[in-house]
């Protein structure tokens, strides 16, 4: 195993639990603003999250609805308009401070920066959403913390396709085994694995019980030491997962899987 030189962070569900209170709320706002008689609840949106990309989710949902436009071109137009309104609303939600980082995330980012590790964002969400999030929580420092951003606009194929990770590796001029991906979902983990990047999965609200394949570690969140596979030393002692723990998992170079109950 090479020396760990970079952390590659997913965004939605990984940096922040943004799907429900952020993206879902913003989608429903966009429906209302355009007078579209649709509303997504948690169950329906959780199923749609298996489709990566907000515009793609809209198109997938429209394909199942009898009251959606029938012509593909009209569906595309409506999806673009809804997605633009949704992104505007999401940025407003973000700027209001309503979407905190997940506990333990900021500390790990700061530890990695202090240790000289490079960090990148690798996500299927839009650049404007990513920049709003990072600006909200790190101010202008975010550009010092994250040297590369690969976002939804940068790829032709979204996760679980590995293209986003491949672009990040190319931009950073690093090999896959010099990096560790941080993900929350089966699709994100599959994308990292397909690019040859080792992955740690911190489960999120909408992927709490999904099957995860071939991760170096799988657990409930970086703010707690219990519930992780492989198990951490001193679980339940109130301490958070640290960069030393990530380094230990990386050096162990073994993968684990978790099957949905």
Cite the active site residues.
10, 12
**Contact, 59 vs 79, CB < 8 A?**
yes
**Contact, 2 vs 177, CB < 8 A?**
yes
Distance CA(131)–CA(17), nearest Å, equals 16
Q: What is the DSSP letter of 115?
A: T
Question: Which has the closest alpha carbon to 86: 113, 55, 114?
Answer: 55
Distance CA(202)–CA(209), nearest Å, equals 11
Kindly write down the DSSP assignment for every residue of 224-249, as one continuous string. -STT-BSPPSSTTSSPPP-HHHHHHH
Kindly write down the DSSP assignment for every residue of 67-90, as one continuous string. TS-SSHHHHHHHHHHHHHHHHHHH
Q: Per-residue b/e over 12-50, b at no fewer than 16 CB within 10 Å? A: bbbbbbbbbebbbbbbbbbbeeeebebebeeeebbebbe
């Amino acid at each position: 195993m090479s020396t760990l030189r970079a952390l590659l962070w997913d965004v939605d569900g990984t940096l922040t639990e943004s799907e429900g209170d952020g993206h879902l709320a913003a989608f429903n706002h966009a429906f209302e603003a355009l007078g579209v008689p649709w509303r997504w609840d948690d169950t329906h949106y959780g199923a749609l999250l298996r489709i990566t990309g907000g515009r793609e989710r809209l198109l997938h949902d429209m394909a199942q609805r009898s009251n959606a436009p029938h012509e593909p071109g009209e569906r595309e137009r409506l999806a673009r308009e809804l997605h633009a309104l949704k992104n505007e609303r999401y940025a407003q939600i973000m700027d209001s401070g309503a979407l905190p980082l997940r506990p333990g995330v900021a500390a790990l980012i700061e530890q990695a920066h202090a240790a000289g590790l490079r960090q990148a964002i690798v996500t299927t969400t839009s650049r404007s959403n990513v920049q709003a999030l990072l600006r909200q929580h790190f101010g202008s420092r975010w550009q010092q913390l994250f040297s590369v951003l690969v976002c939804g606009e940068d790829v032709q194929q979204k996760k679980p396709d590995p293209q986003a990770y491949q672009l990040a590796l190319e931009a950073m001029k690093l090999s896959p085994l010099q990096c560790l991906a941080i993900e929350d979902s089966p699709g994100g983990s599959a994308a990292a694995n397909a690019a040859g990047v080792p992955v740690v999965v911190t489960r999120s609200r909408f992927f709490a019980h999904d099957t995860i394949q071939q991760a170096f570690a799988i657990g409930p969140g970086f703010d707690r030491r219990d519930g992780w596979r492989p198990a951490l030393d001193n679980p339940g002692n109130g301490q958070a997962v640290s960069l030393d723990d990530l380094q230990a998992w990386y050096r162990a170079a073994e993968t684990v899987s978790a099957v949905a109950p």
